[in-house]
């Protein structure tokens, strides 16, 4: 939010898309914001994220003043990271679409 309570409009509503394996190691990650500019900072964030979500049964968590929606299936964790101003239902919809597309693509392998 900016001054006077108005929201800033941006093209990207997702700050990051992260896919981790069952041990918390990166399979895929794309950061759209410069919050974690180095690979080391990204790994630290991903480790904290995995440690927080590996035993939870929820779909939405807060970490470092960010809303994170995630889905886990078998041995893969898929995360979408957004700002605190972002609507978690929109993030969850984007996550679900990504997850279903990935499932369809990998079902033929």
The two three-digit tokens of residue 14, written as one number: 């997702």
pLDDT tens profile 45-91: 999 999 999 888 889 999 889 999 999 887 899 999 999 888 889 89
The model's pTM is 0.84
- The band of 10, judged by pLDDT with boundaries at 50, 70 and 90, is low
Task: Tell me the average pLDDT of the chain.
Answer: 86
pLDDT band for position 12 (cuts 50, 70, 90) = low
**Cα distance between the two ends of the chain:** 44
Q: Please count the residues of the chain.
A: 109
């Amino acid at each position: 939010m900016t001054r006077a309570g108005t929201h800033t409009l941006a093209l990207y509503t997702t700050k990051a898309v992260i896919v981790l394996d069952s041990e918390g190691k990166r399979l895929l990650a794309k950061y759209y914001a410069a919050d974690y500019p180095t690979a080391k900072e990204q790994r630290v964030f991903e480790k904290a994220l995995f440690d927080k979500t590996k035993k939870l049964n929820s779909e939405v968590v807060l970490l470092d003043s960010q809303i994170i929606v995630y889905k886990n299936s078998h041995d893969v964790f898929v995360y979408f990271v957004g700002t605190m101003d972002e609507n978690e239902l929109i993030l969850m919809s984007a996550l679900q679409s990504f997850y279903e597309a990935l499932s369809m693509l990998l079902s033929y392998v």
